[in-house]
Structure 1
Amino acid sequence: METKMLDAHIPLPLAERLDALAIDLALPRDEIVTEALAAWLDQEDRRRIVALRTIAAANTIVVVGHDRVIDWADSL
């Protein structure tokens, strides 16, 4: 797979946690970061889809007139 080098400044405590995890899992840091970034992007894609579906559903809501609601309530 083709790759692209990215530079990122991250807070020192986060970098230290990443280093510790890399040692514990015996994995390269770039592999951990790549997996985490992919998971975050997938989550954001799912959130976007849910938001778009919610907007689409809101646009299909049928508005019922007040009189019809009163008539329905009276029929109960």
Structure 2
Amino acid sequence: MTIGSDEDGNRNRGLDGPCAGGMADKIDAPVARIERSRRWIMKQALAAWINQEEERHKMTLEALADVDAGRVIDHQNIQAWADSLATDSQRPTPTA
């Protein structure tokens, strides 16, 4: 990892290393198509991944809070509801 500054003078940590499994080749197509640098593409991809991971973590914490509060639906109720979907007498959607 290297530490430097971006074009706006903001401190950043650069990541140096190989790009696995032909990913480098796959980056070339969007680089040419949208006329942006590889660095810009990688920065966008990393930002999107970080946002996705933050959202996933937030949702996990919310789900665990629901479990702790007893807001869960019994597996047998879910299974019975799912089994009823292919019948003429569908059960109402289970709720916590």
Structure 1 length as normaliser, TM-score? 0.72
1:2 aligned onto 2:11: yes
Instruction: Return 5+ residue gaps in structure 1 as ranges.
Output: 63-76
Report SS of the residue matched to 1:9: coil
2:63 corresponds to: 54
Q: Distance in 2 between matches of 1:56 and 1:12?
A: 39
What is the deviation of 1:12? Answer: 4.8
Structure 1 runs, 4 residues or longer, greater than 6 Å off? none
1:13 aligned onto 2:18: no
Aligned 1:1-76 pairs, distance under 5 A: 1-61=10-70
Q: Distance in 2 between matches of 1:59 and 1:5?
A: 40
More strand by share: 2
Of all paired residues, the percent bearing the same amino acid is 27
Q: Distance in 2 between matches of 1:18 and 1:25?
A: 11
